[in-house]
Amino acid sequence: MTRKKTFLSLVLAALLVFSASGFSPEKVVESMWAPQTLTIDGVAQEWDESTPVIDDGSKVEYALRNDGRNLYIIMVFKSPDPRLRSKVYPKSTLDYTGMKIYFATGAKKSKEFGILFQKKQLTAEGLIANLQKKGAAPTEEQKAEIRKKSTHIIFSEEVIRPKKAAAPTDPAVNTDPPIFRTIDKGRLAVCEFRIPLSRINQLGGIGAEPGQSILLGFEWGGMTAQIMRDMMAGRADGSVLAGDRGVSSDSGFSGSGGGDEAGGEIRGMGSGVGEMNRDPRYKKQSFWIEAKLAAKG
């Protein structure tokens, strides 16, 4: 047997071993047990005992905790010093696209179930309509209070699921809804997420139990049509960095919750679109991990 054939045989043998043992190429991250419910407010003080894990590609720092009801995730984005000309911008365009977190309980990565967590800017009338859409009935006094401000920041959690998917129901089970909050301080941004473990009464649930292993996928950032529109507006009004204007808005430009990736050129932008797509500040970020949920304490 030649040396080349011997090498190929070793590779094939290794692949067979990995396949037989259920080997997963994803990083394995252990979740810590949370002895009490975590407050989701974007403040990292409850995470002092957790050791941050750093994603190799995006350089985002994160950690996992869980109790018997929920999985908690913290993600810390540290923007590089602009003088260093870094090729990695962990936050990318998170404020526009939001964070998609996918979860799967099987051995394969899947984007069938997940949640789009997104910070949005709504007009006063948009906020009133949003509340009514969710089943709330604001009084005239409450509407008047809302209208005192022209715009409002809200945090939305949009469940990603197959079209005909239905959650099992049980009136005796109380499942928490998914929720997130984020705080920006200079070049530092902290995001906290809560995802229910149970899928009973809640399609935003993972469908897992403490002690179980699951797959988690994270996806955010990238160039979008809305960013390019804001840049065009910035050129018109003299803004230096129009892309830093803020968060996604329900302006009607995108029907996908802010994730409208730019696949073509916007009139007036020309070849600059391709250059921006190669700019590390607008790179789309994504990674998957195998999360080992902590058993009940």
pTM for the full model? 0.80
Q: What is the pLDDT of residues 15-55, one digit of tens each?
A: 333 333 344 467 999 999 999 999 999 988 899 999 999 99
| Pairing between β-strand 213-221 and β-strand 99-104 as defined by DSSP bridges | antiparallel
CA atoms of 31 and 22, how far apart (whole Å): 21
Tokens found for residue 80: 């590089």
What's residue 66's pLDDT?
Answer: 98
Handedness of CA 184, 189, 194, 195 (dihedral sign): positive
Tell which residue, 77, 44, 113, 70, has the closest CA to residue 220. Answer: 77
Q: Which residue has the higher pLDDT, 26 or 128?
A: 128
CA atoms of 75 and 67, how far apart (whole Å): 18
* Mean pLDDT in residue range 275-287: 84
**pLDDT-based confidence at residue 296 (cuts at 50, 70, 90):** confident
Q: What is the pLDDT of residues 215-273, one digit of tens each?
A: 999 999 998 888 888 877 765 554 434 344 456 655 322 233 344 455 443 444 444 55
* Mean pLDDT in residue range 145-168: 93
- Phi, psi torsion values for 86, nearest 5 degrees: -65, 150
Secondary structure letter of residue 245 according to DSSP: S
Q: How many CB atoms lie within 10 A of CB 70?
A: 24
Helix, strand, or coil here: 240?
Answer: coil
CA atoms of 87 and 56, how far apart (whole Å): 13
| Pairing between β-strand 53-54 and β-strand 61-66 as defined by DSSP bridges | antiparallel
